[in-house]
Chain A
Amino acid sequence: MANARPKADVVVIGLGWSGSVIAEELARAGLKVVAIERGAWRDTATDFPPSVDTDELRWATRKEILQPPKLETYTFRNNATQQALPVREWSNLTLGYNVGGAGTHWAAASWRFNPFDFQPYSKTVERYGKQQLVPGLQVQDWGITYDELEPFYDRFERIAGTSGQAGVINGKIIPGGNPFEGSRSRDFPTPPLVPSRWNDIFTQKTTELGYHPFPVPAGTISRAYVNALGVHMGPCTYCGYCQLFGCGNWSKSSPNACVVPALMRQPTFEVMTETEVLHINKAPDGKTATGVSFVGKDGVVGEQPADIVIVAAYQLDNVRLMLLSGIGEPYDPRTKRGVIGRNYSFQTLSYAYLWFENEYLNPFINTGCLAIQIDDFNADNFDHSGLGFIGGAGIQSLSNNGLPIGMAGVLPKGAPAWGKGWKQSFQHSYQNWAMVQGQGTSYSHEDAYFDLDPVYKDNFGRPLMRMTFDYNLNDKRSGEFVRQKCEAIAKAVGGTQVESYNFAADHYTPFRANDSSHTIGGVVMGTDPKTSALNRYQQSWDVHNVFVLGASSFPNNGGFNPTVTIGALALWTAKAIKEQYVKNPGPLVQA
Chain B
Amino acid sequence: MKRTIMAGLAIVVVAGIGAALYINGSTRADDIADNQLQAADSTPPDPAQVRQGAYIAVQGDCAACHTAPGGKAFAGGYGLQTPFGVINSTNITPDRQTGIGNWTERDFFRAVRHGKRKDGQLLYPAMPYNAYVQMSDSDLHDLWAYMRSLAPVSQAPAANTLGFPYDIRLAMLGWNLLFFKNAAYVPVPEQSAQWNRGRYLVDGAGHCAACHTPKNALGGDTGAYLQGAALLGGHAPEITNDAHLGLGNWSAEQVRQYLKTGSNDTAVAAGAMGEAVEHSTQYLNDTDLADIALYLKSLPGSGSQAPAGLAANAPVMQRGARVYETNCMACHNVRGEGIGGMVPAFADNSGMRTPGGANLISAVLKGGRAAATDSNITAAGMPSFAWKLNDTDIAAVLTYVRNSWGNAAPAVPPAQVAKARTALKADTPISGL
Q: Which residues of A contact B (CB under 8 A)?
A: 44-46, 49-52, 224, 226, 229-232, 234-235, 237, 239, 248-250, 261-262, 265
Contacts and interface: CB of A to CB of B under 8 A. Distances in A.
A50 B377 contact: no
Contacts of A45: 369, 379-383
16 contacts: A45-B369, A50-B383, A51-B327, A51-B383, A52-B383, A229-B377, A230-B375, A231-B377, A232-B339, A232-B342, A234-B339, A235-B339, A239-B330, A249-B330, A249-B331, A250-B378
Contacts of B330: 50, 237, 239, 249
A10 to B, nearest CB: 22
Contacts of A51: 327, 383-385, 388
B331 A262 contact: no
B340 A262 contact: no
A421 B44 CA distance: 88
B25 to A, nearest CB: 45
B376 interface: yes
A234 B383 contact: no
A58 to B, nearest CB: 14
Given A50-B331, A224-B340, A261-B372, A232 B385 contact: no
B341 A261 contact: no
Contacts of B367: 49
B173 to A, nearest CB: 46
B381 A46 contact: yes
Contacts of B384: 51
A234 B381 contact: no
Contacts of B376: 230, 232
B360 to A, nearest CB: 16
Contact of A250 (B380, B383, B388): B380
B347 interface: no
A357 to B, nearest CB: 32
A46 B342 CA distance: 15
B374 to A, nearest CB: 8
Contact residues of B: prevailing secondary structure: loop
Contacts of B382: 45, 49
A495 to B, nearest CB: 33
* Chain B, interface residues (CB within 8 Å), range: 20 to 34
B343 interface: yes
A552 B376 CA distance: 35
Contacts of B342: 224, 232, 234, 250
Interface in B219-254: none
B383 A49 contact: yes
A234 B333 CA distance: 10
Given A50-B330, A231-B378, 10 more contacts: A44-B381, A45-B381, A49-B383, A50-B327, A51-B383, A230-B376, A232-B342, A234-B331, A234-B380, A248-B383
Contacts of B377: 229-231, 261-262, 265
Contacts of B378: 230-232, 250, 261
Contacts of A46: 381
A50 B376 CA distance: 22
Contacts of A231: 377-378
Given A45-B369, A237-B330, A239-B330, A226 B341 contact: yes
B380 A232 contact: yes
Contacts of A248: 383
Nearest to B389: A51
B170 to A, nearest CB: 46
Contacts of B369: 45
Nearest to A48: B383
A49 B327 CA distance: 11
Give 3 nearest A-B pairs by CB, closest first: A45-B381, A49-B383, A51-B383
